[in-house]
Chains A and B, each alone.
Chain A
Amino acid sequence: MQVAFLAEVRVKDGVADPEGLAIERALPALGFAGVGEVSVGKAIRFVVEAGDEQAARLTAERLCEALLANTVIERYELSVLGGAPAAGRPSP
């Protein structure tokens, strides 16, 4: 079966996010008040061919850990597209 995933990669808590901060600081000048906690990340979509959804999810997690996220400074959240968020927990 084919399982479509969305991996959202952002900086971990405690790691500086200069892009998010730059956007956040620009907002008042553009007339937006009360908008904060801006964080910029990447969205990567891919399709895994596997025997079942659990096996697909394991492959997806391994891919995130090995390549899509630099786990020294980034976290990732995986969701299955076209369905509920993947039951696997988001990385810390």
Chain B
Amino acid sequence: MVVFPGSNCEHDVAAALASTGADPALVWHDETSLDGFSAVVVPGGFAHGDYLRPGAIARFSPVMAAVERAGRAGVPVLGICNGFQVLTEAGMLPGALGKNAGLRFLCETVECRVESSRSVLTQGVARGSVLRLPINHYEGRFTCDESTLGDLERAGRIVLRYCGDPNGSAARVAAVANEEGNVVGCMPHPERAMELLVGSVDGRPLIAGFVAAAERCARTALSARAVS
């Protein structure tokens, strides 16, 4: 988990990953290498206080060059909430996240439909599944131009869609992926839907799918090194 000054979800993400058997580690934003990691999560929070725009300053942190390299190399990269904002600002995902349509900070559990299993986040969940996931944001409205939205729809790159319309997102987009499906941005918080005690366990198949993708990446890297 990449940690910026102001990130606040890294421990919940670490706990969620650890609960599925993964080995999470926190990486401070001024690190320049992510060598040895099989997956990267950019967690939620308020990186750099959301100054100027959420994610606008975080994307210039030293670690982001390594995050971009990892994304290009096919390593699973998941941006959650503020992390999604950072990835769009960094150009790793299309569009932008603007202020919610109702200008209210939303803190609620919403239903999201899995629109595509072709991503490191949703590969373990059947298309059409409805998941109850918490959202917690003031600037979660996904915006992009018509042409980009058309491309995303046609390519199956919208991976989660809100069943309702909490924040005015274009096409009710809750999560999108890059073309290869290894870089995903997700506004809802799967790491907060891991225990019945907090209301939903629907985050578990998402986190498990992401960890499975990381394990596959680790095995591929090992075999690549064995070959070379």
Contact = CB atoms under 8 A, between A and B. Distances in A.
A61 B56 CA distance: 17
Question: SS class of chain B's interface: helix, strand, loop or mixed?
Answer: loop
Interface residues of A, number: 11
Interface in A14-31: 15-16, 18-19, 22
A48 B141 CA distance: 34
B96 A16 contact: no
Interface string A47-84: 00000000000000000000110101100000000000
Interface residues of B, number: 20
Interface of B: 52-53, 56-57, 60, 88-89, 94-96, 98-103, 141, 143-144, 168
A83 B144 CA distance: 36
Given A67-B56, A72-B143, A73-B143, A19 B99 contact: yes
Nearest to B167: A18
6 contacts: A19-B103, A67-B56, A70-B56, A70-B89, A70-B96, A72-B95
Secondary structure of the A contact surface, majority rule: mixed
B95 A18 contact: no
Contacts of A68: 52
Counting chain A CB atoms within 10 Å of each CB, which of B89, B95, B96, B101 scores highest?
B96
Contacts of B103: 18-19, 22
B141 to A, nearest CB: 7
A16 B100 contact: no
A33 B99 CA distance: 27
Given A16-B141, A16-B168, A70 B102 contact: no
B52 A73 contact: no
Contact of B96 (A18, A67, A72): A72
B56 A15 contact: no
